[in-house]
Amino acid sequence: MPDTVIVAAPEYLPALQEQGEFGDALAFSDADALKALEAITRDRPKVIALERQFAATSRGAALIKRIKADPKLRKCEIRIVSHEGESEDVTQPEAAPASPEAAPVKLDQRGTRRAPRVKIVEGVEVLIDGSPATLIDLSVVGAQVISLTILRPNQRVRMVLPDEERPIRCQAGVAWAAFEMPKTGPRYRAGIEFFDAESGNLDRFIEQNRIP
């Protein structure tokens, strides 16, 4: 059982492993964050060392959040390290979030709430560039979705809502995005901003699918 697990970009791993305290660490590249999480959950190492640049990414932030949300990992020390030799501790919170899905880490966000958002009933699927996504809330100017497909801030997309009369098609952009790692697997939560949506059709769709 390793005392330390380290996660970093491949180009930084050798320099980190040359540092004495990380020589015997179980190492993972930043692309293998999920495998690192599995090892951390299984082995409960004393120290979890995350390279500074990785920790600043959405994947790094999501990994930290998952670790902090697991009561079994309370005794694990999360340490932000640099391949240049600097390090700092990440203090564990007094109370972990109620669920790993809570409070996603925003990558980027612009002001898009020019109209009230309405919570949508569970199970409504939309298409974003042809890939399915779950609709969380909706207004005439934007929506929040959860997608298994990568969504990035400022990405232009085509969104289709499954209206009973005819599909509602919108040219849109990703206003913000957050990478999440719930137990069901990695996903992206994103805010979508509509560019050319037909407000009348959207109003009807909202009324038909809103939570009572």
Tell whether the model's pLDDT for residue 134 goes beyond 90: yes
Q: Which CATH class is domain 4-90?
A: alpha beta
| CA separation, residue 195 to residues 10, 71, 125, 141 (Å) | 39, 43, 20, 8
Q: Kindly report the CATH number that applies to the domain delimited by 118-209.
A: 2.40.10.220
Distance CA 193, CA 176 (A): 9
Decide if pLDDT at 11 tops 50: yes
pLDDT of residue 90: 54
pLDDT of residue 89: 53
CATH 3.40.50.2300 domain locations along the chain? 4-90
Among 98, 104, 131, which Cα is nearest to 186's? 104
Checking if the pLDDT of 169 tops 60, the result is yes
pTM confidence score: 0.57
CA 142, 147, 149, 151 dihedral sign is positive
- One-letter identity of residue 211: I
* Delimiting residues of CATH 2.40.10.220 domain(s) in the chain: 118-209
Query: Is residue 88 over pLDDT 70?
Result: no
Mean pLDDT for the stretch of residues 96-121: 52
